[in-house]
Amino acid sequence: MTAHDRERLARHLGLDVPAMLADCAESVNGKVRLRAGADGYCVFFKHGEGCGVHQGRPDICRAWPYFRGNLVDASSWEMIQTDCPGVNVEAGHALFVREGVDYLYEHGLVHEPGDDSPHALVLDASLARRKDP
């Protein structure tokens, strides 16, 4: 979670950032992430309901399924088709990439070189170019 993610999630939960981090986050290899519950899923995942903090979820969750790996690697995109019913298999990977790049830009989920926004997702130049028709 970026600093922006932490502040938004803490606000959503009605906590200050240190309290939110103590309740639901952990630090791994210098990065702060949400903890998993005893079932191995995100501590906010509710079986049968989905995300329990939808309005406050981190940017990485907002970016799904347009993760960089799924954009640059068609085989990764093929693998997520098993678990993500929203992926339109018939439309193909090229359209997935175009729509994904548009979505990431439209939702402020892109961090480009020189951009000091708090967002963590990075599109390299080859992907950034794909936003143009």
Q: Which residues bind ligand SF4 (CB under 6 A)?
A: 34, 42, 44-45, 51, 53, 57, 61
Burial of 13 (0-12, 13-18, 19+ CB in 10 A): middle
Closest contact distance (angstroms) between CB of 83 and ligand SF4 is 13
Cα 130 to Cα 127: distance, rounded to the nearest angstrom? 5
**4: CB partners within 8 A, 6+ apart:** 59, 118, 119
Nearest residue (CB) to ligand SF4, 32 versus 128:
32
Between 45 and 67, name the residue whose CB sits nearer to ligand SF4. 45
**CB of residue 52 vs ligand SF4: minimum separation in angstroms?**
6
Least Å from the CB of residue 114 to ligand SF4 = 28
